Each structure stands twice: as C-alpha cells, then as structure tokens.
Chains A and B, each alone.
Chain A
C-alpha cells in the first residue's frame, strides 16, 4: 500500500476539516469528490506532508512522514499540484519545471530529460521557453501538472487538476492519469464527476470531513438510481450519497 491513513483528524480551531478518515490505497487512480468545504484540499495537504494531522496515523510509501529522513524520502517520490498554483512570472516553463526537479533532488544528470519529457507529456512543447506570465490559465495549470510529474512520482496528489483545461486537454489529461496510475498512486480531487468516471478506478466522496462513500464509479452511479438531482448518472449518484449523508 502506498497510502495508509488510520483515523486521521485535522482541525483548524473548531473547524474539523478532516474528521476521522481511514484509507488504504495502492497503485491506481483514486478520485476524491465532495462539495466545497468537505475537506478534500485539507486531506490532500495532509497527504502532501504540508499539514500535520491533528491525530491519527499516516504511512506514505511505506514510511512515517513524522520522521525527517522518511519525510525527505517521501517528498522525493511525491508530486503535488495545489488548488491555487503559485509561480514565478519571470521564469520560463522549462525553468520552472527544472527548478522543482532540482528541489526534489532528482539526479542532476536526469533533470534535462525529465523536464523535457514532462513538458511533452502536458503538450507544452511549443511554449517551453515562454515566460509563465505570458501563458493562459489553462497552460499554467498544465505547467503545474508538469512540475508534479517531472520526478515520475510514486504518489501523485492533484487538487483540481483539470481546472481551466479545455475538453480536448481534459481528455488527454485523463489518459495521462491512467498511464501514471499503472505504477503509482494518483489521488485527484475534483468537482468534475466526468473526470472521475473516465479516469478513476476508485472514488471516495467526502462530506463534512468524513468519507461517506468509497467504491468504484459504477457503484456510485448505482447509488443514484431513482434519484432525480443530476444531469448524468454519476452526478445523480453523487447527490444521492450526499443527501443521505446529510440527513
């Protein structure tokens, strides 16, 4: 298992952002759904070793992130795309990705090839030497994805990865996620249920800091039978589960 969470809690004052989440995940693409404020981003930040849990046990890639040496090893094998991507406007695409490749302590000799491969995988080859300030929002998102995958991570955490991407790029990105998920654990937090349906082998639905559903997209769709809210089967399943969780 690449990810093992046991009764993890994370609070911000009185707000319980993550309220007793337990998960075990191996290689594959795992979708994380939920309404705004459900705790998806907080959970991802805990998994990304940015936030410590308030309580509970975590093991990432078989290591305990509380130990600094283990945490360092996890971060070398981790890729993270936050919801709000910060960047340095004067950097070019290649420089930005290279910078993060170096921060992730990739072998120096491997950096150039890895950066080039990441740029190609997100289809930004023609814009490789463009400065980030000249890129559109969707392109910036792809740069963010590129920096997350440059080190071929074993654990890839993506928060709203397809925000700003056009439909064609979303299709390409789902294909990328599936290929990455063959060997790594990919966790994608998203509002777009069609991304989940198309790319994820398993999905969890969070509400008020708890996981209220875990299963395959097909099982989520089945939960929506007879439910009227939603334009697509997966959406109906989504809203049916949420309604049940809130009642």
Chain B
C-alpha cells in the first residue's frame, strides 16, 4: 500500500484516481491510428513549411479529436447516473461542483495530453525537415482550446443527460458544428457573416503564409476567447447541476425550496452564476469582435482592429537562398525564400534550359526570384520586374499554375509550370516596365512561339494540361494556325530562332504579329 502513503493533497489524490481509472487511455490506440491516417499523412503531403504544417492542427486534428473528446467526456459526465452512485456521492461533504470538476479534469488531462503529444510529433517531424522559421504557437492554443471546449460541452451534456445516447449524439453534434464552420470559413467573403471567422476549421493558408509577413493572431485570439467563454460558462453551469436536476423534478414551491436547501452553499452558487455570466460575456465579446473583422491589407487574411497590433504589419526580414547558373557565359541567379530552399535546385534546373534559349534577347531576365504572394493586400502574380528585368514568381503562383511549392505530384508538369511561367512573362511584358506585370493573355503568335520554345527544351506543351493562356477560347482555325506556326518555328535552328526573336520581339509582345508571319 505504498501508493497510499504519498503525501498529496486531497484534490490531487482524487485527480490521480480519476487519471488512473479514466476510459480515455483505452481509446488512445484508436485515436492514434486516426491521427496517423488523417493528420500526419495530410501534413506529410505539405512542404515542410511551419505555417502549412501547423494548419493541419485546426483543419484535421481538431476534427478527429472532437469526435472522441465530446463523446468520451459525455461518457465521463454520465458516470454517476450510469453507475447509480448519485445518492451515495450526494451524502459526502465535498461540493458536487468540486467532485464533477475533478472528473472533468481527469478526462481533459488525458485528452490534452494526447493532443499535445500529437502536436509534438507533428512539430518534431517538421523541425527535422524545415529550412526556415519556427513552430507557430497560436494554432496549438486554438487546438487546445477546441479540445477543451468540446470536452466541457460533452461532460456537461453527460451530467445533465446521463443516457446511453448522449455520447454518440454529442460526438456527431460537435463534428457537424466543426464541419459547418469549415464550410462557412472557406466560403467567407468580405461583408458576410463574420461568425464564420470564429470557427477554428479552415482551409490551409496560402503557401507562403507567415514567411514574408507575420500571420496576425487576431482571428486566433477571438477563437480562443469564444471557446474559453463557452467552457467557462459551462463550468459554471456544472456548479448548478445538482440544483438544476432537482428543479427539473420539483412539482411545487415547497419542492423548489427543498431543492435549493439540499445543494451546495450559496457562495458556490454565486460563483457559478458569476462564471456563467463571465463566460457568456467573453463569448459575446468574441462574437462582436469578429463582426468588426476586415480583410488584412498587408498579408491577406483578416484583421480585427481592436486586437490588431501594428508590429504584426511589419515585414519579416528577407531570407533568401540563391544559386547561380552559368548560362551562355553569363551568370543567372535563381533565388527562393529560405523556407523553400529544398526546392531551389529543382527551380534552377527547370529554368535553366529556357534561359539558355532566350539569354541575351531584349528583355530577357538576368535572374529569377521568389517574392511574397501577397503585397499590399493584393495577390501578386508572376512576371518581370525591375531593370534589368528579373523573373519574379511566388510560392503560390507561377504563371497560371497555383501552389507550385505545395509539392511535386508530377515532376514533369511541375518543371513545365516554371518554364511556361517564365516564357509567359518574357513574351508578354514590355522591357523597362519596372512593375511586376502579371501574366496577360497571349495572342496566338505568342502562344505558338512559346509552344515551340517549350518543345525545344524538351517539354511538351500538353504537360501543362491545357493551361495555356489565350485570348478567349481559340476556334479550330486559330488552333490549327498556332500548331502550324509552332511546327515551323521549331523546325528552325536555335540560332535562327534567336535571330528572329531578336528582330521581332517588340512586335510579338505588342501583339502585331500573326501566326502566319512566324517563319
């Protein structure tokens, strides 16, 4: 009996009993399996960028934990009803609220432990793979708050409705709330109901979120505030649970008086009411703050004026990883943000053959550099910038391709995306424009030249899955003309192509050349 001699305070001893005998550990293997298949495999599909990997906490981990946390907490809360110990525990002196809180704390400890273990595994794997940055903490706070509030909701439902259907109904109820919030958050437009901002569920952020600019924590703050408010309010409601149960069965004024005469002290009841009020106030404040949300003009997303700090609007220090290519005797520097340095070699390898085709031509870029995908609240598209021109692209967009830095499901198509993006910018932008001109719609002649150059470097235009830019949909005649011009231009020698381009690039960019005029 050595365990009994440990000098722990009474509450800690009771909590230790709860931790030892809780049902949650028996279901951890199932939870771990779901975590592996849902959260971890999804995270592994993202590049090792902290913000992207952390997004699975709200988007996936919270979903699977909600399924179990709500139901298991309802199971724990209904224990006294299921085990017919209500009378027995009612004769003890410790306040019912304390007793229920200990049971809730035991369940919550296990769930939070499992949650944090999952986060540690996720962040640990990312730490080994990431090339820049550090673990964001706000997603963890939001996730922990989510697990907590779902557990408290489930426990309260179990206390007040200790039936066999409570646990499964709580489980699907929380999942439906989560899914509805996810749907609302993903389809949120400025001016729509801002309550969708309060849902922790959301689609993954843009690829370079948190890399060039801070991710404002405003939305996370109101989410935590809402969930904490609900949890605190329900905790207060648990303090009134015995009174509410007795009131539910009271049939007369005398019964009502008797019901109040048997419960905890009026001080505890007062504290319970205060907690309910504070929780409701906190939740209402979060809802009203979310209603003031505006689109973030710096880094995209949303900001809440009352919570927004100007320090967050400052750009993060630039951190680039570069490599230099020797193309036609001159250096061509390819740079990406350090967070994507794992893709630097592939980007350089993709661009090199195309650079070799156009090096030295008017308006040919002298380098390629990744820039932020959001600037001044506007989406940045790839193009040519500066003088001498540099091909700029973003982690989110290269030409018409989205999410190039999210991964390489098809390496050939991935390479083709960069090559096409460079040629789109080269063939449509005017030299010296000094402003990153987004890819504009090509004319037929531009498309024909682009197709020929791509084929010349070994990339089939069909790799791009039809993502070519054209003014509207070409009719059959135009398509045939483009194909013929492509074949003719490809049949020329490399030097002939360069010579023709050197002489006709301006006209080509101005759109005054037709496919028939291409040699």
**Do A and B have CB atoms closer than 8 angstroms in the complex?**
yes
Interface, chain A (partner B; CB < 8 A) = 13, 45, 48-52, 54, 66, 68-69, 71-76, 78, 80, 82, 84-91, 94-95, 98-100, 102-106, 108-109, 111-112, 115-116, 128, 147
- Residue from B1, B87, B254, B261 in contact with A50 in the complex, judged by beta carbons closer than 8 Å: B87
Given contacts A87-B85, A108-B8, contact A95 B20 (CB under 8 A): yes
Which residues of chain A are near B7, meaning CB under 8 Å? 108-109
Q: Is B266 interfacial (CB 8 A cutoff)?
A: yes
Q: Is there an interface contact between A116 and B4, defined as CB atoms closer than 8 Å?
A: yes
Q: Is B192 interfacial (CB 8 A cutoff)?
A: no
Question: Which of B20, B88, B263: most chain A Cβ within 10 A?
Answer: B88
Interface, chain B (partner A; CB < 8 A) = 1, 4-5, 7-11, 13-14, 17, 20-21, 79-80, 83-94, 99, 251, 254, 258-259, 261-266
Q: Is there an interface contact between B91 and A105, defined as CB atoms closer than 8 Å?
A: no
Chain A residue at minimal CB-CB distance from B267: A68
Instruction: Give 9 new A-B contacts, CB below 8 A, not counting A52-B259, A105-B93.
Output: A49-B90, A49-B262, A52-B262, A75-B91, A87-B85, A88-B83, A98-B17, A100-B92, A109-B7
Chain B residue at minimal CB-CB distance from A69: B265
Q: Is there an interface contact between A68 and B266, defined as CB atoms closer than 8 Å?
A: yes
Q: Is there an interface contact between A76 and B4, defined as CB atoms closer than 8 Å?
A: no
Question: Which of B83, B91, B259, B264: most chain A Cβ within 10 A?
Answer: B91
Question: Which of A76, A78, A100: most chain B Cβ within 10 A?
Answer: A100
- Contact residues of B: prevailing secondary structure: helix
Given contacts A80-B91, A91-B21, A108-B8, contact A128 B1 (CB under 8 A): yes
Bound CA–CA A112/B13 (angstroms): 11
Given contacts A103-B99, A111-B4, contact A88 B10 (CB under 8 A): no
Shortest distance between the CB of B6 and any CB in chain A (Å): 8
Which residues of chain B are near A128, meaning CB under 8 Å? 1
Bound CA–CA A86/B78 (angstroms): 13
Q: Is there an interface contact between B13 and A111, defined as CB atoms closer than 8 Å?
A: yes
19 A-B contacts (beta carbon < 8 Å): A49-B262, A52-B258, A52-B259, A54-B258, A66-B261, A68-B266, A69-B265, A86-B80, A88-B79, A95-B20, A95-B21, A98-B4, A100-B88, A103-B92, A103-B93, A106-B10, A109-B7, A112-B1, A116-B4
Shortest distance between the CB of A213 and any CB in chain B (Å): 27
Shortest distance between the CB of A146 and any CB in chain B (Å): 13
Chain A residue at minimal CB-CB distance from B2: A112
Which residues of chain A are near B4, meaning CB under 8 Å? 94, 98, 111-112, 115-116
Bound CA–CA A66/B259 (angstroms): 10
Q: Is there an interface contact between A91 and B91, defined as CB atoms closer than 8 Å?
A: no
Bound CA–CA A87/B21 (angstroms): 13
Question: Which of B79, B262, B264: most chain A Cβ within 10 A?
Answer: B262
- Residue from A66, A86, A91, A108 in contact with B9 in the complex, judged by beta carbons closer than 8 Å: A108
Q: Is there an interface contact between A82 and B87, defined as CB atoms closer than 8 Å?
A: yes
Bound CA–CA A48/B91 (angstroms): 6
Bound CA–CA A109/B6 (angstroms): 9
Shortest distance between the CB of B190 and any CB in chain A (Å): 53
Bound CA–CA A112/B85 (angstroms): 23
**5 closest residue pairs by CB, A with B:** A86-B84, A112-B4, A86-B85, A103-B92, A52-B258
Q: Is there an interface contact between B13 and A116, defined as CB atoms closer than 8 Å?
A: no
Which residues of chain B are near A13, meaning CB under 8 Å? 251
Chain A residue at minimal CB-CB distance from B84: A86
Bound CA–CA A72/B11 (angstroms): 17
Q: Is there an interface contact between B91 and A50, defined as CB atoms closer than 8 Å?
A: yes
Bound CA–CA A50/B87 (angstroms): 6
Given contacts A98-B4, A102-B14, contact A88 B21 (CB under 8 A): yes
Question: Which of B9, B87, B99, B254: most chain A Cβ within 10 A?
Answer: B87
Shortest distance between the CB of B145 and any CB in chain A (Å): 30
Which residues of chain A are near B263, meaning CB under 8 Å? 68
Chain A residue at minimal CB-CB distance from B22: A90
Q: Is there an interface contact between A84 and B91, defined as CB atoms closer than 8 Å?
A: no
Q: Is there an interface contact between B265 and A91, defined as CB atoms closer than 8 Å?
A: no
Bound CA–CA A78/B93 (angstroms): 9
- Residue from B13, B21, B90, B264 in contact with A102 in the complex, judged by beta carbons closer than 8 Å: B13
Which residues of chain A are near B8, meaning CB under 8 Å? 108
Q: Is there an interface contact between B85 and A103, defined as CB atoms closer than 8 Å?
A: no
